[in-house]
Structure 1
Amino acid sequence: MLDSILLQFMIIGLLGVGSQWLSWRFRLPAIVLMSIAGLLAGPVFGFINPEQDFGEMYQPIISIAVAIILFEGSLNLDIKEIRGLGRPVIRIVTIGALISWILGSFAAHMVAGLSMAVSFVIGAIFIVTGPTVILPLLRQSKLKPRPAKILKWEGVIVDPFGALLAVFAFEIILFLSKEVEGIALVYFLLASAFAVLLGWLFGKGIGTMFEKGSIPEFLKSPVVFSAVIACFTIADEVTHETGLLAVTAMGMTLANMGIASIQDMRHFKENISMLLISTIFIMLTASLTTDTLLHVFNIEIIGYVLLMLFVVRPLSIFVSTINTDLTMKERILVGWIAPRGIVALTVASYFASILLEEGFNDASIVTSLTFALVFFTVCAHGFSIGWLARKLDLSSEGQPGVLIVGSNTFSVELAKIFQELDIPTLLTDSSWGKLSKVRRDGLPFHHGEILSEQTEYRLDMTPYDYLISVTEYDSYNALVCTTFVPAFGRKDVFRLGIESKTGDHVEQMTRSIGGRKLFAEEISLENLISKIDAGYVFRKTSITEQYDYDSYLQDREEHTILLFVVKASKRIDFIVEGHSIKPERGDTIVSLTPPSKEFNKMKAKIQKHRNL
Structure 2
Amino acid sequence: MDTNGFIFLAGILLLVSILASSFTVRVGLPLLLVFLGMGMLAGEEGIGGLNFDNTDMSFFVGNLALAVILLDGGMQTQTSTFRVALWPSLSLATLGVVFTTASVGTFAAWLLDVKLIYGLLLGAIVGSTDAAAVFSLLRNSGVKLNERVGGTLEIESGANDPMAILLVVMLTGLMQSAEPLSVMAFLGQMVQQFALGIAFGLLGGRLLLMVLRRVPLIEGLYALLIISFGLAVFAGVNMLGGSGFLAVYLVGLTVGNGRIKQLDAISQVMDGLAWLAQAGMFLLLGLLVTPSSLLTHGLQAVAIAAFLIFVARPLAVFVCLLPFDFRWPERLYISWVGLRGAVPIVLALYPVIAGLTNAELLFEITFTVVLISLLLQGSTVPHMARWLKIVVPPAPAPTTRYALINDETRPALELYEFVVQAEGIRIPGSILQNVPSETVSTPQLVSLVRDHQPKVVNASTLLQPEDRIWMLLHPSDVNDVAQIFSQQASGSFLLQNFFGEFAVRGDAPLIDLAKVYGVPLDDLDPAETAAELLQRKLGKSVVVGDRVRFGNLRLTVRQMNGNQIESIGLKLQSKSP
Please tell me the TM-score bracket, short chain as reference.
0.5 to 0.7
Among the aligned pairs, what percent are the same residue?
A: 20
Aligned-pair CA distance for 1:280: 1.6
- Whole-Å separation in 2 of the counterparts to 1:48 and 1:401: 49
- Whole-Å separation in 1 of the counterparts to 2:97 and 2:185: 26
SS at match of 1:433: helix
Distance 1:29 1:364, change over 3 A: closer
Query: 374, 380, 399: which is aligned to 2:376?
Result: 380
The aligned counterpart of 2:346 is 346
- Whole-Å separation in 2 of the counterparts to 1:16 and 1:296: 28
- Whole-Å separation in 2 of the counterparts to 1:119 and 1:14: 39
SS at match of 1:111: helix
- Whole-Å separation in 2 of the counterparts to 1:313 and 1:191: 24
Residue-pair matches, total: 438
Tell me if 1:229 matches 2:185: no
Note the residue ranges of structure 2 that are not aligned, 5 or more in a row. 400-415, 460-465, 470-577
Give the alignment of 1:192-341 within 5 angstroms: 193-213=195-215, 217-238=219-240, 242-297=243-298, 299-341=299-341
**Residues 129 and 155 in structure 1, CA contact (< 8 A), matched pair in contact too:** yes
Q: Deviations over 1:126-164 (max 9, x none)?
A: 222122111221122413233222211111111343223
Aligned-pair CA distance for 1:303: 1.5
Note the residue ranges of structure 1 that are not aligned, 5 or more in a row. 416-428, 436-446, 453-470, 479-493, 504-515, 520-612
- Whole-Å separation in 1 of the counterparts to 2:185 and 2:91: 31
Aligned-partner residue type, residue 158 of structure 2: V
**Residues 348 and 362 in structure 2, CA contact (< 8 A), matched pair in contact too:** yes
SS at match of 1:229: helix
Give the alignment of 1:64-463 within 5 angstroms: 64-138=64-138, 139-146=140-147, 147-171=149-173, 177=179, 190=192, 193-213=195-215, 217-238=219-240, 242-297=243-298, 299-354=299-354, 356=356, 361-395=357-391, 412-413=422-423, 433-434=433-434
Aligned-partner residue type, residue 78 of structure 2: D
Q: Deviations over 1:326-352 (max 9, x none)?
A: 111111111112111111111112223
- Whole-Å separation in 2 of the counterparts to 1:94 and 1:126: 14
> If you compute each CA radius of gyration, which structure gives the higher value, 1 or 2?
1
SS at match of 1:85: helix
SS at match of 2:229: helix
Aligned-pair CA distance for 1:93: 2.3
- Whole-Å separation in 1 of the counterparts to 2:83 and 2:75: 17
Aligned-partner residue type, residue 499 of structure 1: K
Taking structure 1 as the reference length, the TM-score comes to 0.62
Q: Deviations over 1:444-487 (max 9, x none)?
A: xxx7799x9xxxxxxxxxxxxxxxxxx99344x68xxxxxxxxx
**Residues 495 and 518 in structure 1, CA contact (< 8 A), matched pair in contact too:** no
SS at match of 1:84: helix
Distance 1:176 1:248, change over 3 A: farther
Aligned-pair CA distance for 1:381: 0.7
Give the alignment of 1:571-610 within 5 angstroms: none
Q: Deviations over 1:212-240 (max 9, x none)?
A: 3465644322221111222223334455x
**Residues 19 and 33 in structure 1, CA contact (< 8 A), matched pair in contact too:** yes
Distance 1:364 1:315, change over 3 A: same
- Whole-Å separation in 1 of the counterparts to 2:437 and 2:27: 36
Aligned-pair CA distance for 1:2: 9.3
SS at match of 1:393: coil
Aligned-pair CA distance for 1:95: 2.9
SS at match of 1:473: strand
- Pick 1 or 2: higher relative contact order, CA cutoff 8 A, min separation 6: 2
SS at match of 1:128: coil
Aligned-pair CA distance for 1:94: 3.0
Aligned-partner residue type, residue 377 of structure 1: S
The aligned counterpart of 1:499 is 455
- Whole-Å separation in 1 of the counterparts to 2:63 and 2:174: 24
Distance 1:160 1:191, change over 3 A: closer
SS at match of 1:47: coil
- Whole-Å separation in 2 of the counterparts to 1:376 and 1:370: 10
Distance 1:330 1:6, change over 3 A: same
**Residues 417 and 468 in structure 2, CA contact (< 8 A), matched pair in contact too:** no
SS at match of 1:80: helix
